[in-house]
Structure 1
């Protein structure tokens, strides 16, 4: 926690100090293809008074094979201690967002999502089976406050809350439960079950042909849900750089450091020694993620202020607690329209 707040102070100091130089330069502008962060970054920008923006994002994330700590692990390694191991888990997420600015200093944001995922398994006896879950996840609400916008640089803070609208009781049939459904392990649930707080600080800078940004974010979870556990806190530092190739196209590169805490508590309906995903010791870890993307922006005509973005992400480093499925590729596509 101390390191998180020190990082916030460090970012704020750099940004505030930057406004002392070249005061006559224009303000940071969103009206260019690199005026928004890569499409995978949320809460990266603000809007002018009275402006609305609606967005849609689609994200595909794949988890495949196992990792124990920072080393690759085999399915036999997992099956030496557990009856079942997952082998792969693809997930699809559809996100709808809305932003509105009642003033130049404040922007309100809301986001809802729909998830569908499946997990393939391997048993000690060599059998295989698949479980599935789908539905709406938790609703995100936030307020963004702009501290300054000078010298082609801007910084804003975010205070957000996550409402536990996503299910934490998703169930499916397994070979051992046939024909009855049983509750699925933690990664297959749609929500957190807790009221979570999101804090973020975002710094943006621009020059004529390129831009950059950095976002420090924390997700803090309090209490326990109805299944007597809570997910671990999340701390991330996202950094990106974008080059404006033309008035309508830009390309970006992103690097993220991410720390995810272990699940605290235990769901009494799960059997931790049955499958690795039901054991809370196999949760959380440290990640370094990368992304390469492109953004397009329409600056005039009937579709003015319409944006499209795409980003392909891939982990560069993973150090996981216990033994877990390792993250693989992530694809994010999105469209944003403001008026």
Structure 2
């Protein structure tokens, strides 16, 4: 059994290294293409954000930079729902989850997130960023008695999550194409102390499992590259981003690294409206270490063996842009996201639809 686990870990490591190599190769080719077009001197126009599709779909963070002296504030609201159990890439019943050895299995987990962002460009090359998040998590669970009877109950957590501080660095902006880098530092301001009373605790407040906590408890880095292109009536973009976690938190674990590849296409239908389609691939690795306060056999969400997933999302959205008048430079964006493929490690809730809406205002 140990040999099999070691072999599986080795295979997954090889796959991850291969994926990173492919992504890096694609980005190198992309840079070469842009440089070749730069030297051709056939076009001199720069990519611009002063159009409805000048920003990516609202779900994509760190997609654009600003000119020297510009300032932007933004607010986003995201709703995400998780419901029904998955093992690997197949749905299973809660009964099967109990038969896997767990007294409690989750039924669903809706999450609301409020995001406040600030951007300021001290130079044409550098745009500073800060992001503050407020989370509201709810989870419905099912407990199975030795008699076979079941009972449902709920837990909840809410509060400020980890603060992100960072910057964007403009690498290229010529021929209606742009490339910039993203560097963020996540500061562990989110609490790991979310607690609730459950039917098993006898009225005592117990620490909630990993998905219900508000932060990672570690200093994390976001590193990314974003390529943008524009034509007269449409635009496109690709963003590759990784979240890397360092050390362990005060409870002896760290959340898994996360890797995202986003590609989108947008059509500018009028000077004030664009519609977009997006495809996103996500890979999240499993939790390292474990919280000794959690009983991994009590509930699936307390077992680190049930962490890590691969996901492919599709999304449709729109951007509204005030290009003149008293509301000039105000944007409203919205996007509906739906997963078309997912593979989870162990037994986990299935990710379902999510919805993001946001306002952005530049000065």
Q: TM-score, normalised by structure 2?
A: 0.92
Q: 2:233 aligns with which of 193, 197, 209?
A: 209
Gaps of 5+ in 1: none
- What residue is the counterpart of 1:18 in the other structure? 34
Q: 5 Å matches for 1:243-258? A: 243-258=267-282
Q: Which residue of 1 aligns with 2:217?
A: 193
SS in 2 for 1:17: helix
- Could you say which residue in structure 1 is the equivalent of 2:179? 155
- Helix, strand or coil: the match of 1:20? helix
Match of 2:55 in 1: 36
5 Å-filtered alignment, 1:45-64, equals: 45-64=64-83
Task: Render the CA deviation track for 1:242-268: whole Å, top value 9, x for unaligned.
Answer: 001100000000101110000010101
Residue 281 in structure 1 maps to residue 300 in structure 2 = no
State the distance in 1 between where 2:118 and 2:75 align: 9
Answering whether residue 182 of structure 2 is matched by residue 124 of structure 1, we say: no
Name the counterpart of 1:296. 320
Q: Deviations over 1:94-147 (max 9, x none)?
A: 000000001111000000000001100011131010000000000011111011
Q: Which residue number in structure 2 is paired with residue 93 of structure 1?
A: 113
Structure 1 residue 5, shift from structure 2 partner: 5.3
Tell me what 1:169 maps to: 193
TM score, norm. by length of structure 1: 0.98
Partner Cα distance (1:96, 1:12) in 2: 33
By how many angstroms is 1:9 displaced?
4.4
Give a deviation string over 1:148-207, Cα, whole Å, max 9, x none: 100000000011110000011100110111321100000000000000011000000000
Match of 2:204 among 176, 180, 193: 180
Alignment of 1:61-80 (within 5 A): 61-80=80-99
Superposition CA RMSD, Å: 1.1
| 1:259 partnered with 2:278 | no
Preserved CA contact (<8 Å) 1:8 1:201: no
1:110 is aligned to 2:109? no
- What is the CA-CA distance between 1:18 and the residue it aligns to? 2.4
Asked if the contact 1:36–1:44 (Cα under 8 Å) also holds between the matched residues in 2, the reply is: yes
Q: Partners in 2 of 1:141 and 1:4 — Cα distance?
A: 25
Q: 2:7: which partner in 1?
A: none
CA offsets per residue over residues 51-107 of structure 1, 9 Å max, x none?
000000000000000110001111011011100000000000000000000111100
SS in 2 for 1:245: strand
Partner of 2:356: 332
Which 4+ stretches in 1 moved above 3 angstroms? none
2:344 maps to 1:320:
yes
CA contact (8 A) 1:291 1:313 kept: yes
Secondary structure (helix, strand or coil) at the match of 1:11 reads helix
| Higher-helix-fraction structure | 2
Structure 1 counterpart SS, 2:340: strand
> Which one is further off, 318-327 or 14-23?
14-23
Contact kept in structure 2, 1:4 and 1:235, CA below 8 Å = no
- State how far apart, in whole Å, the 1-side matches of 2:32 and 2:131 are: 30
Whether the 8 Å contact between 1:19 and 1:150 is mirrored in structure 2 is no
Structure 1 partner of 2:165? 141
